[in-house]
């Protein structure tokens, strides 16, 4: 006589059996102090549970995990966590397409057209300067990972275009992104202040590891970069949620404390551009809500605050060195070492721009660009310099490596290095439609349940072209951010329209 099989009991026996096997092998590996295979198995199981458990909701992890730029140390792959999420989402997404499952229709406007124009031009740059084929012989170019980053960003854009975000998820998304920024800041803090601990944790997640390009421990730094991202993220989180002009009201006391904490982090980070970022975030958040008069009010408020900072510099108050470095662009009685350090950083950038644009040594084709990566000879020369081989001093060798890499700390100059004047010209229409889309979407969201989430993403996008052109930019990173951000904005726009219909 047939008997019914209890699936739950069968599953329980299977889990117990696998657990015993796993415990046996895990015990052996731990005894031998070989944690790599153990981490791989645990990570693989966790990834599988997330992949199959979330289904299409896996797509929503893309904007959350995008800021996790560290790599899983035990995995022999060059992708960070954010990129791994995009790869997993892409596998699920293209599986839906292959099996003809219904997906939302992707929007296509002028901003999308200009994204594809810029991507197609980048493809032409790649074929004129192919990278990744140096193994076929001497010569060739190496270091084509930025192309892979752009490809993964394009996958994220294609997926996010078809994702619809519920009001509940839109409410939580900024909080999750802020939590990721806090975790990344914690990892950076461990790397700087507890490097030996960071070396251990870095085997699991590379952001903890206090090492430079040559694998050496680096614990000496004049600035706290790990505070910069957390501080600016916290600023945009607060001003997206609350009108900055309302922060002085008692009911927004907690938000005011968060905002002030963010400003302290930014000052302690020592980065002048972070102060400018936080001010622009605040001004645009006010202008979207209170238009011209709001801008006048917040400008007067910042004028008073910065004047107070200048006054404090002349008083017998011990202001942290990094804060003085960040504020030294203002007139005041600042520490001269901080002023010289900041001026030296600026002069270093100006010198790199002059050298790069006045010769063909670092930019070989200024019209159409050299593409990503290095010539093999340049790459090997740079490695030799950074390892101490050669006659250049440490600072000179570092500057030479930046020049070879195209890391000019300037959006326009870097664009000329990678895609030439033609590619730089193609960015301007993209910037115009990017700002227009972010501005319109911001107004569309006001008064809806999507307001905080939209402003959280749109305000940084509005100021990105300003920073790229006039303050600090990197074509490789900013193009990737633009592509992903447009996918998020398309998703939010469609979600607002569908929720209103």
CB 236 within 8 A of CB 459: yes
User: Rounded to an integer, what distance in angstroms lies between the CA atom of residue 258 and that of residue 231?
Assistant: 10
Residue 500: CB atoms within 10 A of its CB come to 9
Task: Output the pLDDT for position 10.
Answer: 44
- Name the residue ranges covered by the structural domains of the chain: 110-500
What secondary structure does DSSP assign to 78-94, as a single string? S-BHHHHHHHHHHHHHH
Task: For residue 487, give the nearest of 247, 152, 133 by alpha carbon.
Answer: 152
Question: Which DSSP symbol is given to 222?
Answer: S
| Residue 276 phi, psi dihedral angles, 5° rounding | -60, -40
Task: For residue 459, give the nearest of 160, 154, 241 by alpha carbon.
Answer: 241
Task: For residue 403, give the nearest of 351, 368, 367, 471 by alpha carbon.
Answer: 351
Task: Output the pLDDT for position 93.
Answer: 81
User: Rounded to an integer, what distance in angstroms lies between the CA atom of residue 501 and that of residue 498?
Assistant: 5
Crossing angle of the two packed helices 225-241 and 253-269, in degrees rounded to 10: 150
User: Rounded to an integer, what distance in angstroms lies between the CA atom of residue 177 and that of residue 175?
Assistant: 5
The tally of CA atoms less than 13 A away on the side-chain side of residue 421 is 5
Task: Output the pLDDT for position 108.
Answer: 86
What secondary structure does DSSP assign to 114-146, as a single string? HHHHHHHHHHHHHHHS-BS-GGGSSS-EE--HH
Per-residue pLDDT of the chain (501 residues), as tens digits, is 444 444 444 444 444 554 555 455 545 544 444 555 555 555 555 555 455 555 567 788 899 999 899 988 777 778 898 998 898 888 878 777 776 666 667 778 899 999 999 999 999 999 998 887 554 444 467 778 899 999 999 999 999 998 889 999 999 999 999 999 999 999 999 988 888 888 888 888 888 988 654 444 454 467 788 899 999 999 999 999 999 999 989 999 999 999 999 999 999 998 989 999 999 999 999 999 998 899 999 999 999 999 998 998 898 888 889 999 999 989 989 989 989 988 888 888 899 999 989 988 889 899 999 999 877 777 777 666 666 665 556 566 777 778 888 888 899 999 999 999 999 999 999 999 999 999 999 999 999 999 999 999 999 999 999 999 998 899 999 999 999 999 999 999 999 998 877
Residue 43: CB atoms within 10 A of its CB come to 15
Task: Output the pLDDT for position 126.
Answer: 93
Task: Output the pLDDT for position 389.
Answer: 62
Task: Output the pLDDT for position 141.
Answer: 73
User: Rounded to an integer, what distance in angstroms lies between the CA atom of residue 87 and that of residue 156?
Assistant: 9
Task: For residue 60, give the nearest of 441, 482, 491, 438 by alpha carbon.
Answer: 491
CB 163 within 8 A of CB 490: no
Task: Output the pLDDT for position 12.
Answer: 47
pTM to 2 decimal places:
0.85
Q: What sign results for the dihedral spanned by CA atoms 400, 404, 409, 412? A: positive
Question: What b/e readout covers 238-251, taking b as 16+ CB neighbours within 10 angstroms?
Answer: bbbbbbbbebeeee
The tally of CA atoms less than 13 A away on the side-chain side of residue 278 is 26
User: Rounded to an integer, what distance in angstroms lies between the CA atom of residue 221 and that of residue 190?
Assistant: 14
Helix (H) or strand (E) holding 375: strand 374-375
Please name the residue that has the structure tokens 């072209």: 465
């Amino acid at each position: 006589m047939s008997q019914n099989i209890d699936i739950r009991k069968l599953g329980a026996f299977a889990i117990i059996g696998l657990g015993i096997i796993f415990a046996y092998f895990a015990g052996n590996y731990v005894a031998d102090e070989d944690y790599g295979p153990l981490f791989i198995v645990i990570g693989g199981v966790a990834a599988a549970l997330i992949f199959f458990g979330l289904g299409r909701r896996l797509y929503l992890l893309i904007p959350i995990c995008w800021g996790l730029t560290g790599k899983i140390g035990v995995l022999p792959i060059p992708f960070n966590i954010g990129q791994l999420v995009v790869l997993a989402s892409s596998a699920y997404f293209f599986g839906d397409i292959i099996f003809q499952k219904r997906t939302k229709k992707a929007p296509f406007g002028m901003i999308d057209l200009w994204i594809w124009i810029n991507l197609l031009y980048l493809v032409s740059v790649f074929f004129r300067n192919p990278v990744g084929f140096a193994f076929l012989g001497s010569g060739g170019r190496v270091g084509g990972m930025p192309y892979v980053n752009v490809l993964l960003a394009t996958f994220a854009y294609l997926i996010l275009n078809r994702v619809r975000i519920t009001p509940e998820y839109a409410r939580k998304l900024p909080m999750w992104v802020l939590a990721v920024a806090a975790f990344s800041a914690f990892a950076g803090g461990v790397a700087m202040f507890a490097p030996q601990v960071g070396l251990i944790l870095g085997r699991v997640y590379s952001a903890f590891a206090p090492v430079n390009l040559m694998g050496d421990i680096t614990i000496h730094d004049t600035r706290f970069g790990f505070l910069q991202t957390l501080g600016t993220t916290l600023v945009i989180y607060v001003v997206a949620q609350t009108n900055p002009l309302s922060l002085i009201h008692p009911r927004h006391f907690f938000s005011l404390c968060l905002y002030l904490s963010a400003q302290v982090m930014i000052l302690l980070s020592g980065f002048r551009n972070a102060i400018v970022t936080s001010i622009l975030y605040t001004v645009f958040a006010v202008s979207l809500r209170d238009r011209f008069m709001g801008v006048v009010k917040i400008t007067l408020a910042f004028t008073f605050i910065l004047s107070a900072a200048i006054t404090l510099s002349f008083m017998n108050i011990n202001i942290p060195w990094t804060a003085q470095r960040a504020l030294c662009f203002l007139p005041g009685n600042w520490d001269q070492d901080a002023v010289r350090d900041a001026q030296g950083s600026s002069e270093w950038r100006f010198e790199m721009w002059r050298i790069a644009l006045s010769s063909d040594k670092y930019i070989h084709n200024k019209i159409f660009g050299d593409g990503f990566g290095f010539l093999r000879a340049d790459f090997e020369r740079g490695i030799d310099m950074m390892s101490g081989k050669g006659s250049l001093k440490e600072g000179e060798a570092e500057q030479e490596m930046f020049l070879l890499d195209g890391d000019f700390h300037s959006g326009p100059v870097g664009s000329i290095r990678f895609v030439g004047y033609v590619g730089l010209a193609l960015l301007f229409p993209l910037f115009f439609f990017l700002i227009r889309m972010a501005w319109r979407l911001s107004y569309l969201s006001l008064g809806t349940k999507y307001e905080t989430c939209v402003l959280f993403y749109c305000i940084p996008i509005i100021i990105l072209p300003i920073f790229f052109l006039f303050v600090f930019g990197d074509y490789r990173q900013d193009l990737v951010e633009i592509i992903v951000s447009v996918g998020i904005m398309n998703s939010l726009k469609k979600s607002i329209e569908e929720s209103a219909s």
